[in-house]
Amino acid sequence: MIFIARHAVGDRVRGQALVAHDGFSARYDLDRIHGTFSRPAHKLAGQSYVGKILVLDAAKGGVATAWMLREMAARGRAPLGLVLNSVNPIMAQGAVFGGLTLLAGFDEDITARVPPGALVELDPASRKLEVL
Amino acid sequence: MNLNEVERAMLAGEFGRAAQAAIEHQVKVGDFFAAADFVPVTQAHLMADTESLGEAGVRWLESLCEQEPGARVRVPTITDPRGTDFAKASLLRQPTFALDLERRAIDAFRRLGVLLTDTCINYQTIQAPAHGEHVAFGDTGVVIYANSVCGARSNYEGGPSALAAGLTGRTPRYGYHLPAMRRATVRMRVECKPESLNDWGALGGVVGRLAGHYWAVPYLEGLDGVPGSDALKHFGAAMASFGSIALYHLDGITPEAGHADGARLPLSHTIGEAEVKALQGAYASEKDVDVVVFSAPQLSLYELRELAALCDGRRFSRPLLAVTSPQVKPDADRFGLTRKIEDAGGHVLSGMCFYQSYAREIAEANGWKRLATNSAKLVNILGGYGYVPLLASMERCVEAAEKGHL
């Protein structure tokens, strides 16, 4: 299965998808020390995001993620990539600043199409998400 | 992106390495959103607490200064709250590494010519932007207020992008810099009358959740009367926090509502007292309280006046922290408001915001878990930091600081 995003930035990456129809904010949702989702109400609460390709619904919350993605990468506590139905400027700015691969904006709900745990490849140059 | 002569020169390094790095970052962001060109901005507001930056972010700032020692911002660039109030750091039991990082970041910002205003209520304390003014603001509460109440034009500008805008004097023209993007996209009707700031915040949270994403522009009908600045501050900050919303229109109230074409939309949602109470009820899981916090956004002089009156004559059994800006604090001192709050056992902190001040570390150091506040934005954030956040009116929170429970 191949899906084309409207927005993309970063390097080509391949990894395991961590999928939920929920939002994403590094400040609101993550324990960045331990590398886990920490907001109790989040559908991925308790799960490790480190080295995973996160497939989520919408960018949420404040502006801190723009700094945090780089800080997480520097400590080896970053996701490998981020895929969103709806992006906001903060995620794009944070991905550019932090060197994270980001794809966003699809014609269908991407969280319903990527199987949890699937191996996926993100290719920003062609704005392509492929389920391998 | 189409670049003019000045921008091409910046990109080529003719304006220095800092401006070059800044515009390189901006071009990548602009390309991501298919921005056609840049728009000049008059001011930038920069979120940069060191819990967000970490060692990596602070080192990046320092390297920017070292690569070009004379680099300075080109337009007034001010800061959001810092990660501490140095005068109260021992009270909060903040870790030493956090204070060291803060000092290093402050030094770097000073070298870049950034004005360390340390406030998330700059529209109340520094300079509110004018209708139609293009700005590069960080802090979602600042952006939504500037766009919606002032009629200014800004996207959410995270710290690196706001600093870039300060260094180049411009920002990519996409999103809410474009008139077409400012039209209403979802119409809602409000059938309740928010009274307290907590009510306004909860209503904003409900709207934010329903609207759901950054590109949604809610158009609200049915509000009775014109809310004041503090009510709209809590309303917008919570809407931005719960929904990533950057612009709303209030029928008959906000400056662009008449041009937003909201009335053409089908009615999507009706919000009554039940919806507002449901959101408030979701943050009422405990009665006992470890700490009471008034923050997010920082308190205005009028909020501190109200708080001081509520504190008068009480004696607190739990810590009560009231956080304001460095611009408001001296007035609160002069008018005796700080003294009334601190005579009751509370503390007035300045230039920080609670959730931006190593909230996880100070919770562990102080044994704080159950936190009462009147800020809907704050309760939305703190769950991820391990707190049990409790939402109540300012009056009930003050009572809780005295009795130890809500």
Q: How much of chain A, in percent, has pLDDT values that exceed 70?
A: 100
Helix (H) or strand (E) holding B141, with range, is helix B140-145
B381: CATH: 3.30.499.10
d(CA B295, CA B128): 20
CATH of the domain at A7: 3.50.30.10
Provide mean pLDDT across the span B168-173.
98
Same structural domain, B161 and B21:
yes
The domain of B338 spans 291-403
- B392 in a structural domain: yes
Question: Checking DSSP bridges between strand B218-221 and strand B249-250, what pairing results, if any?
Answer: parallel
Contact (Cβ atoms closer than 8 angstroms) between residue A95 and residue B159: no
**HSE value, Cβ hemisphere, 13 Å, CA-based, for B107:** 14
pLDDT band at B266 (very low <50, low <70, confident <90, very high): very high
Structural domain range at position A38:
2-131
Interface test with B, best of A21, A29, A39, A93 (most B CBs within 10 A): A93
A24 backbone dihedrals φ, ψ, rounded to 5°? -145, 130
User: Count of domains in chain B?
Assistant: 3
Q: What was the pLDDT predicted at B37?
A: 98
Q: What is the pLDDT of residue B109?
A: 98
Of B60, B243, B381, the CB nearest to A28: B381
Best B156, B163, B247 residue to mutate vs chain A (most A CBs within 10 Å): B156
Q: Which of B213, B239, B361 to mutate to test binding with chain A, by most A CBs within 10 Å of its CB? A: B213
- Residues B264 and B383 placed together within one structural domain of the fold: no
B244-264 residue pLDDT tens: 999 999 999 999 999 999 999
The band of B240, judged by pLDDT with boundaries at 50, 70 and 90, is: very high
Asked if the structure places residue B263 within a domain, the reply is: yes
DSSP-derived letter for residue B128 is P
Query: Each residue of A81-122: pLDDT tens digit?
Result: 999 999 999 999 999 999 999 999 999 999 999 999 999 999
Q: Are residues B118 and B42 in the same domain?
A: yes
The rounded distance, in Å, linking the Cα atoms of B228 and B92 is 32
Contact (CB<8Å) B159/A90: no
pLDDT confidence bin for B384, thresholds 50/70/90: confident
Give one word for B294, left, alpha or beta, with left for phi > 0 and alpha for psi -120 to 50. Answer: beta
Q: What is the pLDDT of residue A61?
A: 78
Report which of B343, B345, B372, B368 is spatially closest to residue B358, judged by C-alpha positions: B368
Number of domains in chain A: 1
Contacts of B213 in chain A (CB under 8 A): 58-59, 86, 88
Q: Look up the ipTM and state it.
A: 0.95
Average pLDDT value for residue range B295-319: 98
Q: DSSP letter string over B332-366?
A: HHHTTHHHHHHHTT-EEEESB-GGGS-HHHHHHHH
Asked if B238 contacts B267 with a C-beta cutoff of 8 angstroms, the reply is no
Q: Which of B236, B258, B281 is the last residue of a domain?
A: B281
Question: How large a percentage of chain B has pLDDT more than 70?
Answer: 100
Is B242 contained in some domain?
Answer: yes
A18, A56 in Cβ contact below 8 A?
no
The token duo for B395 is 């009056």
Say if A69 is an interface residue toward chain B (CB within 8 Å).
Answer: no
Residue A15: closest CA among A127, A125, A123: A123
Q: Name every chain A residue with its beta carbon within 8 A of the beta carbon of B159.
A: 63-64, 66-67
User: Does residue B311 sit within a domain?
Assistant: yes
Nearest neighbour of A93 by CB, restricted to B160, B244, B384: B160
| Interval B357-386 mean pLDDT | 96
Tokens found for residue A75: 């400590």
pLDDT tens, B84-141? 999 999 999 999 999 999 999 999 999 999 999 999 999 999 999 999 999 999 999 9
Q: pLDDT value at position B224?
A: 87
Count of beta carbons in the 10 Å neighbourhood of residue B274: 10
pTM equals 0.96
Report CB contact under 8 Å: A89, B383: no
* pLDDT tens digit sequence for B20-60: 999 999 999 999 999 999 999 999 999 999 999 999 999 99
Burial class (CB in 10 A: 0-12, 13-18, 19+), B330: exposed
In a domain, B206, yes or no: yes
Residue B286 lies in a domain: no
Q: Give the residue on A whose Cα is nearest the Cα of B56.
A: A71
Single residue among B215, B249, B281 that ends a domain in this structure: B281
Instruction: State the pLDDT at residue B93.
Output: 97
Instruction: For residues B221 and B300, state if they share a domain.
Output: no
Mean pLDDT across chain B: 97
Q: Do B129 and B68 share a domain, yes or no?
A: yes
